Structure 1
Amino acid sequence: MGAVHMDHSRLSTIATAITGPVRRARNWLMGSRGRTTTDASLRQGERPEQLKQENDRLRRELKRLSDFLDTSSDVVWETDDRLTITSSDSELQLPANHIGLKLAEALGVNPLSSQRWMDYLQNLASRRPFRAFELSVRQADGCEAWLEINGNPTFARGRFQGYRGTYRNVTQRKLYEAQIAFLASHDPLTKLANRAQFHDLAARSLVSSGRHDGIAVLCLDLDGFKGVNDTLGHGLGDLLLLSVADRLRSCADPTDVVARLGGDEFAILRADTTGPDDVCRLAERILASISEPYVLDDHRVVIGISIGINVASRSKTKIDSLIKNADVALYQSKADGRGTYRVFHNEMNTRLQERRAIEADLRAALQLRQFELYYQPIVNIASKQIVAFEALLRWNHPQKGVVSPATFIPVAEETGLIVPIGDWVLQQACRDAASWSHHIKVAVNLSPVQFKCGSLEMSVTRALAGASLHGSRLELEITESILLQDEEITRGILNKLRVLGVQIAIDDFGTGYSALSYLRNFPLDKIKIDQSFVQDLNQSASAAAIVKAISELGKALDMTIVAEGVETAEQLTILGDQRCTEAQGYYIARPQPAGKLMQMLNDLSAVA
């Protein structure tokens, strides 16, 4: 195709602008048969010299017009009064050499099913011009081509002679338009439907009919994808998303719509379902398939997936609630431990609203100074002396009273609010500890989220410096889940904290993996035995044996062993016999606010 693109209307404008003789030349070039007047008759009375000048000018204008048509992508055509093409200067012919109803028949088009075709044929029947009529034709090589046709009716002495016009090949433009339309409705990486397309198809499904009244949406979120993306790079992360998309397609039915909503979020629409059992079977297939290992560029990757399901009646559901409720069920699936699926029910909305209320209140709690630290003493079993206080966070809500940490800590971790809250706890605990006797330490619990945020070392440094507290008086308690994160990064963070003089304790030991490799590979100073073992000391010989084994292990590794949850004198005695170093629990003292610690110290000193 040439570089010049002009439609027939512009061509007519040019022709009109270049004198009467040039218009006659253009008609002659297009094969016009409508000329009834000879040049000689038009030139009667003109002198030979004038006629020669006129002819020279006509040749020049004719050459200009010919050059324009040669460089244009437009192909000129003409028909007779039966709409049969009688002339065309291109090998690209329309089927049946016809521009009317026979053309539709040759293309296999039912014009009654297309408003575009009906308008086009109506123009032909009424002998009116038409513009930019597009149609698809199959070429001799089997490839599809798109043509754009423009036409004007021609008349001689008021009698219809046929149509004259142009057409051009617009296949490349149609391909670009199709590509743009595809990208507007599909994810460019996985080629799945995108969020907008998924929403549109779900809305259409609600107003369509099916064999059953049930419609279902599954919202899916990958578990562990961010870790893969961060450690192995975005390139491998993209390969993982492609593999996940393929597995989801294979799990879904051909009539299901699989979409990528963004990031590692996917969704599936089942527009015709018999009910929850049908969709739960799909969810179980997805859980099994996605959890199978992936081998990507010689890396073995394992991830999981959480699924929220909403099954609803097509006749009783609106699009917003259809998708929103599936998302609520997904949140519940994550809250229940991930790697599973949950089907929406109305009680989930109530819990979600409560969670959002807690989140909103948490955001204001720091500014309104609603948080307070309570302290529970840790004593040396042999000397009965207090060696440390563990800082425990309390939230005094103005309307709800004291909110349990079990209620608000998970929300704070999910929203990331645990990071600024954790900074405040560190700073306040260090300030309080600065007023105690120099031999008493303060222990602060850390969340895995604080480790992931990347600024923990700076937070600890600021807290110690702000309180003028030596690092040796601060203990940081971590859980085994922190050690399960990237081993090299975690070890680096712990070593930097140790440089500050801070001691590291592993909390709730015995309830997780309790791998001995942790004790060997990480810089740890204390092991805190979970209270579930301590509470069973009186009745369970196995619990006593576990406590003894951990105590001996601690001694061999030169680590302090702390028993949590001591509630009776008998438990404390057994712990001493098992060579446990330190203990804490309600038998020793309940947590108290900072203002009551001096009285607690005096009471415990009197007992000792």
Structure 2
Amino acid sequence: MPAAPAEMPLLAVLGLRDPEGSDWSRLRGLQYAQLTRTQRWRIVVHAVCAILTIALFAGKAPTLLLVTFVAALLGSMVITLRSNHGVSTSERPRVTRAELDEKARAAACVAVAWCIPMLGFASFAGDAERAGLGLLIAVLLVGSSLALGAAPLATIIFGAITGSVTIGSFLWFGQFPLALAIAMLLVTVTYGVASVARLHLAACLAEAGVAEQSEVVSLLLREFEENQADWLWQIDTNRMIRGASPRLAYALGRPVEEVEGKPFLEMIAGEAWETGQFPASLHDLAERLKRRESFSNLLVKVAIGREHRWWELSGTPMLDDNGAYLGIRGVGSDVTEQRESSEKIAYLARYDTLTGLPNRLMLTEALGDALRYAEQWRTRCAFLMIDLDRFKAVNDSLGHLIGDKLLAQVSARLKALMGENELCGRLGGDEFAIVIRDASERGCVERVAKNVIARLSQPYEVDHHTLYVGASVGSAIGPRDGKTVEELMRNADLALYRAKDDGGNEHRSYEPLLHANAEERRQLEFALRQALERRELVLNYQPVVDATSESVVSFEALVRWNSTDHGPISPGKFVPIAEDTRLIVPIGTWVLEQACREATRWPEHVRIAVNVSPEQLFEPDFATTVVRALTASGLEARRLELEVTESIFLRDASVARSSLEQVMALGCTVALDDFGTGYSSLGYLRKIKFSTIKVDRSFVTGAAQDSKESLAIIRAVVAMAESLEMSTTAEGVESAEEADMIRRLGCTKIQGYYFGRPMPAEDALRLFRRRPAVPERLRA
């Protein structure tokens, strides 16, 4: 549709100029489009007037002149028809400036043809004939204003030429009243044509706008039906389908003729129409149709053949001009795929993809429901947290694929243990949980926990591997141990932490003391983060003596913490915190640097032993840290011994081996601490050249009490160390009898309170300023 001009100047309406800002070629096309609808009647009017003219002047004017008039009129009509042909054959007519000039010339030709009678015939007739001819000219003027009002330029050109000639002729023959009448008629026609043209142009614009809008709407509806998954639907007052579209018929799986006039609900109900067992959503739709109300995006479960689908329907009642109800019309779409996708997303949001068990979100929701139920009915609920023992060793040694398969088997066993009152799920990693909705029965929680531990501790067969993992369980009772989900989960976690500390494969219930311990741990963690800056950490040194000569051969550096806020803190408390928070890395670096610096003050044959945490060993720059400590202190690498435990090999044996081989290449030695208390894999001894194996104090104590097992273990360790050219150090020797026993068993070095407790650096240095040390002096 052409843009409507802001204003319509007279010269523009008449076609004498085209102002900027609008598509005037289209506007001209709208103006001249009417010519095609009236050109037949115009030809008839001109023909009648021409016949009357010939009849009026027959026998009075020369025949040649009459024939000339008829030929001129016919020729001008042909020219006019040709000029209008472009407009008549175009659906969206445009009239250019050249075409407008052509139409103006055609109108001028018609006017000139009608001037022939007035100029040529008038001299052969009297006043009556001239008056009759003037009347015919007046009829043509008025007819042109009516027929050609939409194209004012043609009317004005025709009127200007014929009117001027007629007025001139009347004036020439002295018929002044007739000349005045024609002049007045010409002015009136010109004014009327201009006004009618402006109104007609505005009407044409409005009509074209409506037509184009209707066409756009039809186009959109057609495109909507043909290219989209949606369709239009319409029912009458009896809820019968009317005006069924092909898309609707396709959605119903039937031809259009089978759909038209059928009950809408019957078409989408399937077999339920016979049984009366309708889905709730279909009941809702039926009620809305019955109440004749509007609805939008209503999700309805429909049956198309034997297949169930989901439709989304919107509808609006139709009313006639008097407000009478005619039916409902709306739009629908098949949203089955979107519905299934949303259900899948909802499933993934609440279920663990690996095990198929409810995830943390769903467990949290279930626990919230259980707490509300317990509060409403004055009952108890419970939350159990489960952590697999030794699962990390499986993951690290056999890989995550085996670990995932093991978790799947664990989840299957857990699920098989659950009753209607319990819900189990996976929190993440190797942590699971159980929500007991009603735990009012005495011993209910304990029974579930024992069943879980017993079932999960049984062997697993995974890809030809027989695996053993245990389970630790911590439980909390709601609302006794927590009135909110967060409190209950936190307290169950504290109880689980206690079960793990007690060795695992145990169940522990929450106690208020656990919260106090957790708070203490939190405060200690906060203080430990500032311990290095406040210089609260110090090193003590415990001597290691030769089993034969009892001379000091090395010291073990032991870190101690005297907190400003909490006083002296046992290493058994703060070292696990440091390892869990990875604060052990900066603390271990500081210990290494301080120990190396202090060892430079001792005799050259005395070595320093520093304990290394797995967290330190797995740092990429661990070897660089050792080099920096040796370089800064000036200590020879052969005098530094790093003590590690077997746990370093459970995480990533290749990384541990690589780090140890790098420091051994520097000249440092490596000792295996607490041997016999862990997994005691001989493969470690074969892969890494340890310098010393340290026998744990528990075996020394057992041997002192004549434990056959402890004695056998110590003898086996000593024999193995001798064959591998390693030395052995017995820890925890506290008496002369124990020292003599250790010598008899063959250990090469001894460490314990009998020869010296951990002491400050100055006390350790003082040992070398005296005469050769004896046990009594070392104990001082």
Deviation at 1:197, TM superposition (A): 2.7
Residue type of the partner of 1:175?
E
Report the CA distance between 1:188 and its aligned residue: 3.8
C-alpha displacement at 1:171, in angstroms?
A: 1.9
**Partner residue in 1 for 2:601:** 435
**Which structure 2 segments of 5+ residues have no match?**
1-36, 42-87, 92-206, 253-258, 776-780
Any conservation in 2 of the 1:291–1:303 contact (CA below 8 Å)? yes
Matches within 5 A, 1:367-378: 367-378=533-544
Matched residue, 1:150 = 315
Q: Which moved more, 1:254-263 or 1:479-488?
A: 479-488
Does residue 596 in structure 1 map to residue 763 in structure 2? yes
1:558 corresponds to which of 714, 725, 743: 725
Q: Is the 8 A contact 2:675 2:693 kept in 1?
A: yes
What is the correspondence of 1:178-189 to structure 2 with a 5 Å cutoff?
Answer: 178-189=343-354
Structure holding more strand per residue: 1
Which residue of the other structure, out of 510, 513, 526, is the alignment partner of 1:360? 526
Q: Name the aligned partner's letter for residue 428 of structure 1.
A: Q
Q: Distance in 1 between matches of 2:565 and 2:669?
A: 38
Residue 495 of structure 1 aligns with which residue? 661
The match for 1:77 is 233
Q: 1:151 to 1:105 in 2, by over 3 A?
A: farther
SS at match of 2:565: coil
Any conservation in 2 of the 1:213–1:315 contact (CA below 8 Å)? no
Query: Mapping of 1:324-473 within 5 angstroms?
Result: 324-453=490-619, 455-473=621-639
Name 2:298's counterpart in structure 1: 133
Q: What letter corresponds to residue 95 of structure 1 in structure 2?
A: L
1:507 is aligned with what amino acid? D
> What SS does the corresponding residue of 1:150 show, helix, strand or coil?
strand
Structure holding more helix per residue: 2
Following TM superposition, by how much is the alpha carbon of 1:463 offset from its aligned partner in structure 2, in angstroms?
2.1
Name which of structure 1's ranges 177-186 and 310-319 shifts more when overlaid on structure 2.
310-319
CA shift, 1:533, in A, is 4.6
Q: Distance in 2 between matches of 1:591 and 1:61?
A: 94
Match of 1:67 among 222, 244, 251: 222
Deviates more, 1:198-207 or 1:445-454: 445-454
- Report the Cα offset of residue 408 of structure 1: 1.6
Amino acid at match of 1:558: E
Q: 1:203 aligns with which of 344, 347, 368?
A: 368
| In 1, Cα distance between equivalents of 2:528 and 2:435 | 35
Unmatched tracts of structure 1, length 5 or more: 1-45
SS at match of 1:423: helix
Report the equivalent of 1:580.
747
Structure 2 counterpart SS, 1:365: coil
In the superposition, relative to structure 1, how do residues 571 and 297 fare at CA in structure 2: closer, same or farther (>3 Å)?
closer
Contact 1:148 1:170 in 2 (8 A): no
The alpha-carbon deviation at position 217 of structure 1 amounts to 1.2
Q: Distance in 1 between matches of 2:691 and 2:560?
A: 27
Q: 1:16: which partner in 2?
A: none
The CA deviation at 1:494 is 3.5
The CA distance in 1 between the partners of 2:40 and 2:367, in whole Å, is 79
- Listed as ranges, the matches of 1:25-424 within 5 Å are 64=219, 67-68=222-223, 69-89=225-245, 90-91=248-249, 92=252, 94-96=264-266, 108=278, 117=284, 121=287, 125=291, 127-208=292-373, 213-230=379-396, 232-275=398-441, 277-296=443-462, 301-313=467-479, 317-424=483-590
1:416-452 superposed Cα distances (whole Å, 9 cap, x missing partner): 3222222221111111112222111001123344344
Q: Partner of 2:169 in structure 1?
A: none
Letter matched to residue 85 of structure 1: I
Q: Following TM superposition, by how much is the alpha carbon of 1:603 offset from its aligned partner in structure 2, in angstroms?
A: 4.0
Please report how far the alpha carbon of residue 130 of structure 1 lies from its aligned counterpart in structure 2 after TM superposition.
2.9
Q: Distance in 1 between matches of 2:749 and 2:530?
A: 38
Q: C-alpha separation between the residues in 1 aligned to 2:356 and 2:307?
A: 27
- SS at structure 2 position matched to 1:253: coil
Q: How does 1:533-544 map to 2 (within 5 A)?
A: 533-535=699-701, 540=706, 542=708
Give the aligned partner of residue 734 of structure 2: 567
Work out whether residues 146 and 174 of structure 1, in 8 Å CA contact, stay in contact via their aligned partners in 2.
no
SS in 1 for 2:694: strand
How do 1:453-532 and structure 2 match up within 5 A?
Answer: 453=619, 455-482=621-648, 487-512=653-678, 519-532=685-698
Q: CA contact under 8 A between 2:537 and 2:562: conserved in structure 1? A: yes
* AA in 2 matched with 1:263: G
What TM-score results when the alignment is normalised by the length of structure 2? Answer: 0.63
Structure with larger RCO (C-alpha < 8 A, sep 6+): 1
Decide whether the 8 Å contact of 2:424 with 2:435 is kept in 1.
yes
**Take 1:557 and 1:77, find their aligned partners in 2: how far apart are those partners?**
89
Contact 2:602-2:768 within 8 A present in 1 as well: no
TM-score by length of 1: 0.79
Distance 1:556 1:180, change over 3 A: closer
The 1:124–1:604 alpha-carbon spacing in structure 2 relative to 1, beyond 3 Å, is: farther
Q: Which secondary structure does the structure 1 equivalent of 2:664 belong to?
A: helix
| 1:358/1:154 CA distance change after superposition, 3 Å | same
Deviation of 1:374 (Å)? 0.6
Q: Is the 8 A contact 1:137 1:147 kept in 2?
A: no
Which stretch of structure 1 is more off in the superposition, 569-578 or 558-567? 569-578
Q: 1:7 matched to which residue of 2?
A: none
Aligned CA RMSD, in angstroms, stands at 4.0
Deviation at 1:268, TM superposition (A): 2.0
Deviations 1:286-335 (A, max 9, x none): 33443445455555554443322112248983222222211211222222
Q: Relative to 1, partners in 2 of residues 1:275 and 1:486: Cα closer, same or farther, differing over 3 Å? A: farther
**1:395 counterpart SS class:** strand
* d(CA) in 2 for partners of 1:548, 1:243: 42
Distance 1:67 1:563, change over 3 A: closer
Contact 1:291–1:302 at 8 Å: present in 2 too?
yes
Instruction: Give the residue type in structure 2 aligned to 1:256.
Output: E
Deviates more, 1:435-444 or 1:72-81: 72-81
What is the distance in 2 between the residues matched to 1:465 and 1:245?
53
Q: Cα 1:517–1:73, aligned 2, differ >3 Å: closer, same or farther?
A: closer
Judged with a 3 Å threshold, the aligned counterparts in structure 2 of structure 1 residues 97 and 151 are, in CA distance, closer, same or farther, namely farther
Contact kept, 8 Å, 1:389 with 1:441, in 2: the verdict is yes
Question: Identity over the aligned pairs, expressed in percent?
Answer: 36
Contact 1:95 1:107 in 2 (8 A): no
Task: Give, in angstroms, the shift of residue 371 of structure 1.
Answer: 0.8
- Note the C-alpha offset of 1:190: 3.5
Q: State how far apart, in whole Å, the 2-side matches of 1:319 and 1:505 are.
A: 48
Is the CA contact 2:381–2:477 (under 8 Å) kept in the aligned structure 1? Answer: yes
Query: What's 2:66 paired with?
Result: none
1:60-91 residue CA offsets vs partner (Å, 9 max, x unmatched): 78974773344444433333324343442333
1:60/1:438 CA distance change after superposition, 3 Å: closer
- Structure 1 position 375, deviation (Å): 0.8
Structure 1 residues 221 and 508: CA distance shift in structure 2, 3 A: closer
Residue 518 and residue 140 in structure 1: after superposition, are their counterparts in 2 closer, same or farther (change >3 A)?
closer
Q: How far off is 1:410 after superposition?
A: 2.2
Moved more, 135-144 or 249-258: 249-258
Secondary structure at the counterpart of residue 239 of structure 2: coil
Single out whichever of 135-144 and 218-227 deviates more from structure 2. Answer: 218-227
Q: What secondary structure, in the 3-state scheme, does the structure 1 residue paired with 2:609 have?
A: strand
- Whichever residue aligns with residue 219 of structure 1, its letter is M
